[in-house]
């Protein structure tokens, strides 16, 4: 069954006709061309697809697009630009937090949310809060360091 939905993505209203079973991840990537959000496992296990719904981090592969009509959706494309990167993006570059970069958009979206919640008080707290975002390249220690550098800052 199909339905009409208007997704508000990065501040822009995007009207779509979607199958009611289409995930937010597939709608973002395949229908809206926002491929910054990555599809890793497609089953809620890796965090690569993390986006914000009204500021809260969610797994886009487990979220139905048709259920997102009333929410403000933020993807990595809405966070910063190459010319004006978000402070978390700058910290990830400073701390060399990526190798292949596939997990990076999801890591950054989760990091922004946890910093906004003030949950970066210790390395252990950051590791716990970031445990849903996997990095197969093993950049976790650098990611923790980048987030800890920003603890207490307004991001
Ligand atoms: Fe969504 Fe892995 S692609 S959690
Ligand atoms: Fe390659 Fe994280 S940088 S998976």
Domain ranges of the chain: 2-78, 87-150
Q: Which ligand is closest to the CA of 58, given by its number?
A: 1
Is the pLDDT confidence value at 154 over 70?
A: no
Domain covering 2-78 assigned CATH 3.10.20.30 in the classification: yes
Q: What is residue 60's predicted lDDT score, i.e. its pLDDT?
A: 98
Matching fold, domains 2-78 and 87-150: no
**pLDDT-derived band at 153, boundaries 50, 70, 90:** confident
Q: Which CATH architecture has domain 87-150?
A: Orthogonal Bundle (1.10)
- pLDDT one-digit tens code per residue, 14-69: 999 999 999 999 999 999 999 999 999 999 999 999 999 999 999 999 999 999 99
Q: State how far the Cα of 45 lies from the Cα of 20, in Å rounded to an integer.
A: 23
CB of 21 closer than 8 Å to CB of 7: no
Q: What is the distance in A from the centroid of ligand 2 to the CA of 48?
A: 10
| ∠ CA 90-94-96, rounded to 5° | 115
Q: Which residue from 24, 40, 53 has its CB within 8 A of the most atoms of ligand 1, so it is best to mutate?
A: 40
Q: What is the mean pLDDT of residues 112-140?
A: 96
């Amino acid at each position: 069954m199909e339905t009409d939905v208007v997704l508000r993505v990065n501040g822009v209203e995007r009207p779509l006709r979607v199958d009611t079973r289409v995930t937010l991840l597939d709608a973002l990537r395949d229908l809206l061309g926002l491929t910054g959000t990555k599809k890793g496992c497609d089953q809620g296990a890796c965090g690569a697809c993390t986006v914000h719904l009204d500021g809260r981090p969610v797994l886009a592969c487990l979220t139905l697009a048709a259920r997102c009509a009333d929410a403000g959706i933020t993807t990595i494309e809405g966070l910063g630009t190459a010319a004006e990167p978000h402070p978390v993006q700058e910290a990830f570059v400073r701390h060399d937090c990526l190798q292949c970069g596939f997990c990076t958009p999801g890591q950054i979206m989760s990091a922004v949310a946890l910093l906004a919640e003030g949950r970066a008080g210790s390395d252990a707290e950051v590791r716990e809060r970031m445990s849903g975002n996997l990095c197969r390249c093993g950049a976790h220690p650098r990611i923790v360091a980048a987030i800890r550098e920003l603890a207490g800052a307004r991001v």
